[in-house]
Structure 1
């Protein structure tokens, strides 16, 4: 796909889309335009889709860019093409339709409507909320800590997960922290959440001055929060490879290797632009590919 300034009609996978506001600057400090973000998604789709397909998607929408109004959208944005698949999802207020990103065309259609961040649950629509096939731990540094400390915590969590027969995969969140994923045999959100909370609590008990499980701000200073709650069926996590709407530039939830985690001494080492992520994928492929397969799937115990 090639886009230019203004508006352009394109055909992607047999779907015709009218891309608009292509010259809009979404990130004033870095200068990234909507056209550049669309180009990123079009080129990254081949490795991003396996991690998002079949899941009910939520978005962070910010049509005017990082400096404008933004909000979380679970229902399809106004103007969504009718061919973009939808799935009914039960929420506490009732049942609502949500989008599923099953193709590059669907992804570009949503991004074109200002849905720049893609978030997904850890269960597939086919299996439902009782079929979580991924465990996730969100390592969020509190004041006085940073991504480097998250990397040290992640290394220990990797060992604890391995002791339980689980294989961990690291993904920098694209903001401040680090996500750890582990493929699991399908289980309910209650089961995965219980395991994740127990693991986070074990880590906190082992390193009480380094790790916290509570969301209370006063307890987070100088510690890394292990947010286990994103395993709840109603919660979502930034999808691997999604753009993140940072104030000054577009971040990316980028998969990294354990060698990179071990070697991280400055947060900037694991902060990537969309262009850098494309270069990494061109050179090494999807280092997270195994997460979307059954290769390392294991039961929780």
Structure 2
């Protein structure tokens, strides 16, 4: 029998709570739902008003994993949806605006991915993102060196950078920016990625070409494009263990000497929230956004 629960006045059917989704650690679907309920206060502001793409893994990371951008079948009518422009024509996507919608989406077992713009202004970036992806044998330790360089380079243009783990192998460097076209934001991000490669040619590559990436950090600037999305802060990832995309301090980044220092599980993240609160909260303050240079 599927338990029915009430969240903020909405009735939700939560299924398979005992199902182990992360076999490496025994982390269950019930624990996934508990994690999202516990982190909702910090997670929701980073999802609000951004159309959400779902990377679903209902049978765990070792089962079928598939990407859903359109509103999933069976979505309750009380979940907010919005029309989003796409090159192939407009589509409807989900907006996770409240706790009930978050718990409904979490019950689908998903990673949450969002664009760098809000629904009222599609294709107008208010965020800048650099996805730092290490090619083996490089690790997050090398990503940290690149992240520090990017932080200083952005600061030179009056832009304050923040950082989180990707929840996979690398780091995401983020900044709030005054609204600018996604095209302009992407061009600026690419300029900085090219500069980073010139400054650290043995460490950085700005092109996606696989053959160039072993031992280097790929600075993916392309996720600033209007059609692209990035794993949201605090989302669980479809990995062997219940790793989370966790905000970290710049001190932790500069002091990182091994991979384990910047790998956080759902349980560890809940402890970190008590200690740090939301390290990315300044990203939500439009008054702190920097202007992209002309």
Query: TM-score category by the smaller chain?
Result: over 0.9
Aligned pair partner of 1:128 in 119, 122, 125: 122
Q: Distance in 2 between matches of 1:223 and 1:255?
A: 23
Q: Distance in 1 between matches of 2:14 and 2:74?
A: 12
**Residue aligning to 1:24:** 19
Shift of residue 235, structure 1, vs aligned partner: 0.0
Q: Distance in 1 between matches of 2:199 and 2:233?
A: 29
Q: Distance in 2 between matches of 1:105 and 1:283?
A: 26
Aligned pair partner of 1:294 in 283, 286, 290: 286
Q: What RMSD over aligned residues (CA atoms) do the two structures have, in Å? A: 0.9
Q: Secondary structure at the match of 1:110?
A: helix
**Residue aligning to 1:3:** none
**Residue aligning to 2:99:** 104
Q: Deviations over 1:92-114 (max 9, x none)?
A: 22111000010111011011123
Aligned pair partner of 2:234 in 241, 244, 249: 241
Aligned pair partner of 1:250 in 242, 254, 260: 242
Structure 1 residue 161 corresponds to structure 2 residue 154:
yes
Q: Distance in 2 between matches of 1:117 and 1:178?
A: 16
Structure 1: 4+ residue segments shifted above 4 A: none
Structure 1 residue 33 corresponds to structure 2 residue 23:
no
Q: Secondary structure at the match of 1:68?
A: coil
Q: Secondary structure at the match of 1:179?
A: strand
Shift of residue 191, structure 1, vs aligned partner: 0.5
Q: Distance in 2 between matches of 1:144 and 1:28?
A: 26
Shift of residue 123, structure 1, vs aligned partner: 0.1
**Residue aligning to 1:188:** 181
Aligned pair partner of 1:77 in 69, 72, 75: 72
Shift of residue 177, structure 1, vs aligned partner: 0.3
Q: Distance in 2 between matches of 1:209 and 1:71?
A: 35
Aligned pair partner of 2:39 in 29, 40, 44: 44
Shift of residue 270, structure 1, vs aligned partner: 0.8
**Residue aligning to 1:270:** 262
Q: Distance in 1 between matches of 2:149 and 2:270?
A: 29
> What TM-score do you get using the length of structure 1 for normalisation?
0.96
Q: Secondary structure at the match of 1:244?
A: coil
**Residue aligning to 1:9:** 4
Is the CA contact 1:77–1:110 (under 8 Å) kept in the aligned structure 2? no
**Residue aligning to 2:253:** 261
**Residue aligning to 2:168:** 175
Q: Distance in 2 between matches of 1:179 and 1:118?
A: 15
Is the CA contact 1:20–1:112 (under 8 Å) kept in the aligned structure 2? yes
Q: Distance in 1 between matches of 2:262 and 2:99?
A: 26
Is the CA contact 1:58–1:74 (under 8 Å) kept in the aligned structure 2? yes
Is the CA contact 2:231–2:245 (under 8 Å) kept in the aligned structure 1? yes
Shift of residue 173, structure 1, vs aligned partner: 0.2
Q: Distance in 1 between matches of 2:258 and 2:136?
A: 16
Q: Deviations over 1:127-183 (max 9, x none)?
A: 221x21000000000122000000011001100000000000001000000000010
Q: Distance in 2 between matches of 1:127 and 1:29?
A: 41
